[in-house]
Structure 1
Amino acid sequence: MAIGFQVTFDCSNPDKLAHFWADALHYKIPNPPSGFNTWNEFLKARNIPESEWDSKSAIEDPEGKGSRIFFQKVPEPKIVKNRVHLDLNVSGGFSTPLQDRIDRVKAETARLITHGAKLQREMQTQDEYWIVLTDPEGNEFCVH
């Protein structure tokens, strides 16, 4: 039996990070519950203090196939390297010629940088190529 899971990011600005990763992964912010036009309307109806409205956010695969990603506000800043990171696979895999994979990775990296990612380094071995980036809060991830 497969077990479903979500990935959770601790962060200082859940909404901003959720929007970045929604763009990066072609995901979406979930719709508010039935009967509500916005999340703020829903939170207000549940008597959640406005000061807590930015305490969490999430994104979902619009096709329902990928895992949900959750963002929760924490008081402390990121200090050290992530112990877990996401790899975005855009290259087409080893059946794709290396130069085509490099071109795809570079194109996706350029797109992500326009959404707030920051370039850290390019990596290449004899048959692999990837780029290490950080999201707007400094979380490392790779584009393969």
Structure 2
Amino acid sequence: MPAFDLHIVFDCADPDRVARFWMAALGGYDFPTGVPDGFATWDEWADANNIPVDQRNLGRTLVDKERGSRPDIFFLQVPESKQLKNRVHLDIKVAPGLTGADRRTAIEKEADRLTTLGATIAIDHDDHLVMHDPEGNEFCLA
């Protein structure tokens, strides 16, 4: 059986806001570069192609610019709000190899950073935290 590429996709109300949160949360991710030839910015390109301003935030993509080995992450605008717990979530490994108080300190330090970006702590477990991104998508810090 062939190996397949993997993309991660978030449904959200504000793709730009959620993409910017995850770009800062994960590090090494950024928006793809490459504005079409003849244009200085994507907004200039959108203006030239008569794309209404209210339709310019229908989606965003993040690519791994640092390692080049992590999956692309897509953020797609959907009309409905999140209703229930995620069936799939991301685990951010911030304390690999650490134990005890050192592990907890690393997790809490990263949780503090992420809350300044708009995340909230949902559940505090002994060995990890369940958090919500700015639109309520669950993820864990471990």
Bigger CA drift: 99-108 or 6-15? 99-108
Equivalent of 2:132 in 105, 119, 134: 134
Q: Does 1:9 align with 2:10?
A: yes
How far apart, in 2, do the equivalents of 1:5 and 1:44 lie? 32
How far apart, in 1, do the equivalents of 2:40 and 2:108 lie? 38
Tell me the residue number matched to 2:87.
83
Q: Does 1:115 align with 2:113?
A: no
Amino acid aligned to 1:62: K
SS for the counterpart of 2:125 is: strand
Tell me the residue number matched to 2:21.
20
SS for the counterpart of 1:41 is: helix
Tell me the residue number matched to 2:54.
51
TM-score, normalisation: structure 1:
0.87
Tell me the residue number matched to 2:69.
65
Instruction: Using the TM superposition, give the Cα deviation of residue 97 of structure 1 relative to its aligned residue in structure 2, in angstroms.
Output: 2.7
Bigger CA drift: 2-11 or 134-143? 2-11
Tell me the residue number matched to 2:104.
102
Equivalent of 2:44 in 41, 44, 51: 41
Identical pairs, percent:
41
Deviating beyond 6 angstroms after TM superposition, the runs of 4 or more aligned structure 1 residues are none
Amino acid aligned to 1:57: R
Question: Unpaired runs of 5+ in structure 2?
Answer: none
Question: Unpaired runs of 5+ in structure 1?
Answer: none
How far apart, in 2, do the equivalents of 1:89 and 1:137 lie? 21
Q: Deviations over 1:40-98 (max 9, x none)?
A: 223334443332101111111112121111001001111111111100001013xx332
TM-score, normalisation: structure 2:
0.89
Q: Is the 8 A contact 2:7 2:74 kept in 1?
A: yes
Instruction: Using the TM superposition, give the Cα deviation of residue 34 of structure 1 relative to its aligned residue in structure 2, in angstroms.
Output: 4.6
SS for the counterpart of 2:128 is: strand
Q: Deviations over 1:20-57 (max 9, x none)?
A: 00000112122243534322223334443332101111
SS for the counterpart of 1:72 is: strand
Q: Is the 8 A contact 2:36 2:45 kept in 1?
A: no
Q: Is the 8 A contact 1:134 1:141 kept in 2?
A: yes
